[in-house]
Amino acid sequence: MIVPDMNPDGVAAGTRTNADGVDLNRNFPTRWRPIGHPGTLHYSGPAPLSEPESGAVAALILRLKPTISIWFHQALDLVDESGGNVAVERRFARLAGLRLARLPRYPGSAAGWENTNLRGGTAFVVELPPGRLPPSDVARFADAVDDLSGRYED
């Protein structure tokens, strides 16, 4: 299953936060803590899963129990060792032509929450390169996703 966008309000407004000013990737329960206030870049919301978008995505993940979840972000141009199966993350990085690196463990992140709550699965973050992706990059990333989906299906 592909969820094309977890934050349609933010995309429409050209911001990282949703319509309530919450950074949805700081709104998941694992290691959640209050960060900022409405209008600041990484405001974590009044409570974990306080936002309809993060609540809906969490419910979907708990219902589907995916083997692999890939969270596409932008613009660090790497695959994060996000705390799941590093062999899966390494394979995706190689296939996508991205370096593998470990980013800080941000409080309230979706991938961190998923890796903590769904044992046996792997959630990881792919930080796409900055700007609009050329079709050749899109094809390479799609091929990497396709490779993992065929390799790790239940």
Q: Note down pLDDT in tens along the chain; length 154 residues.
A: 888 889 999 989 988 899 999 999 999 999 999 999 988 989 999 999 999 999 999 999 999 999 999 999 888 999 999 888 999 999 999 999 999 999 988 999 999 999 999 888 999 999 999 999 999 999 999 999 999 987 665 4
| In a shared domain, residues 74 and 145 | yes
pLDDT at 12: 93
Report if residue 1 sits inside a domain.
no
| In a shared domain, residues 13 and 73 | no
28, 108 contact by CB (below 8 A): yes
If one counts the domains in the chain, the total is: 2
pLDDT at 152: 60
Report if residue 90 sits inside a domain.
yes
67, 122 contact by CB (below 8 A): yes
| In a shared domain, residues 79 and 150 | yes
pLDDT at 154: 47
| In a shared domain, residues 31 and 12 | yes
148, 96 contact by CB (below 8 A): no
Q: What CATH number should be reported for the domain holding residue 111? A: 3.40.630.10
Which residues neighbour 134 within 8 Å (Cβ) at sequence distance 6 or greater?
Answer: none
Last residue of a domain, one of 30, 47, 64: 64
125: amino acid identity, one letter: V
| In a shared domain, residues 142 and 103 | yes
Range of the domain at 40: 7-64
What spatial distance separates the first Cα and last Cα of the chain, rounded to whole Å?
14
